[in-house]
Amino acid sequence: MPISTHSPEPGIAVVTVDTPPVNALTARGWLELAAALTAAGREPATHVVVLRAEGRGFNAGVDIKEIQRDPGHSALIGANTGCAAAFSAVYDCEVPVIAAVQGFCLGGGVGLVGNADVVVASEDARFGLPEVDRGALGAATHLARLVPQHLMRALYYTATTIDAHQLHHHGSVYAVVPRADLDETALGVARLIAAKDTRVIRAAKQAINGIDVQPVHRSYRFEQGFTFELNLAGVSDGARAAFLEGKT
């Protein structure tokens, strides 16, 4: 299944994304991920959620082919709605969410990770937003939660990536480990949280979200408005086509 949930140990729910070849999600996929994360957090037996992915990379963002096949804007609206729902599901999950990231983490992947409570990454993990090269905008809200403001702007405008060691330096990645150790490292952090009184941890999640200085939901939806404008102006079609033809 593209999105699956299992509980390897008491108190720990693991949500896995497995959509080869690059874990790019369709509009439906984003909504299914949102539903899985929300359901896991609402389950009283769950104390913590680990979000992970199979394959060579964590997430490559939206399925651009789905948007490009649509002669209208329903696929774009679906992608916007689905991404907003999935990012919100991470942030609003009733228990902490640990993101375990390997390989590439691009576009929507940054949206998921930027809203997570804890991030662990493999040594080969790289994070970035190629949006400007695709004629779109979005997830600067979440990149700004991972790096300082001016670095975020530089990464955004240039569509370049940053590696896990650099994010560890900035304090947004909790641990950087060999890929073979990634899942066990994430579970190790999860065990520490799962051992706590879940009533206290759930209250702590609400409290920390309540004092957050960034209105992540409103901020991201504001960004998405410009993506829609670029599509209405006809700017984005050419950018997506160039990417699919391997020109960018």
Rounded Cα gap, residues 126 and 105, in angstroms? 6
pLDDT at 144 exceeding the cut of 90:
yes
Sheet harboring 97-101: ordered strands across?
3-9, 12-17, 48-53, 97-101, 118-122, 175-177
Look at residue 62 in the predicted model and tell me its pLDDT: 92
Q: Which residue has the higher pLDDT, 66 or 115?
A: 115
Find out if CATH 3.40.190.10 is the number for domain 3-180+200-244: no
Sheet harboring 161-163: ordered strands across?
104-106, 126-128, 161-163
Rounded Cα gap, residues 138 and 30, in angstroms? 15
- Please give the average per-residue pLDDT across 221-234, as a whole number: 90
Q: Residues 90-137: pLDDT tens digits?
A: 999 999 999 999 999 999 999 999 999 999 999 999 999 999 998 889
Look at residue 17 in the predicted model and tell me its pLDDT: 98
Element (H, E) at 239: helix 235-244
Closest CA to 96 of 186, 166, 168, 35: 186
Contact 37, 49 (CB under 8 A): yes
pLDDT at 66 exceeding the cut of 80:
yes
Amino acid at 157: Y
pLDDT at 248 exceeding the cut of 70:
no
pLDDT at 240 exceeding the cut of 80:
no
Closest CA to 49 of 100, 96, 119: 96
Lowest mean pLDDT among 162-171, 199-208, 233-242: 233-242
Rounded Cα gap, residues 14 and 97, in angstroms? 10
Look at residue 247 in the predicted model and tell me its pLDDT: 60
Domain residue ranges of the chain, discontinuous segments joined by +: 3-180+200-244
Mean pLDDT of the chain: 94
Q: Residues 45-65: pLDDT tens digits?
A: 999 999 999 999 999 999 888
- The alpha-helical segments, DSSP class H, found in 43-162 are 64-69, 74-92, 108-114, 140-143, 149-158
